[in-house]
Amino acid sequence: MLSPRTYNAKAGLALVWPITNQANGYPFEVAVTAAQGATGVILADHVKSVDWKARRAEKLGRCTVEMIGEVRARLAPLLGY
């Protein structure tokens, strides 16, 4: 999740980066390993707002600081940073 718990609780929504198992070498993919609780790639440019309660979302794991930095670095040019 991108958004903090306080936002998620008040809004009933969460901002997330989707994870897919279909790695294609896309420049915005960031690898996720089993150590983070999932496998595949984060799609850094596919930020989504989801109703986490309706989807019954569950926490799979935790991203490392390095992984979040890599995702942000790939997303930054799209946001003009």
pLDDT in tens, 20-48: 999 999 999 999 877 677 889 999 999 99
Please, what CATH class does the domain formed by 5-79 belong to? mainly beta
Instruction: Please state the domain extents for the chain.
Output: 5-79
Strand, helix or coil for residue 68: helix
Q: Residue 46: its pLDDT value, please?
A: 93
Q: Residue 81: its pLDDT value, please?
A: 82
State the average pLDDT for the chain: 88
Helices (H) and strands (E) in the chain, counts: 2, 5
Looking up tokens 């690898």, which residue turns up? 31
Answer whether 28's CB lies under 8 Å from 75's CB.
yes
- For the record, the structure tokens of 66 come out as 């390095």
Distance between CA atoms of 41 and 26, rounded to whole angstroms?
A: 10
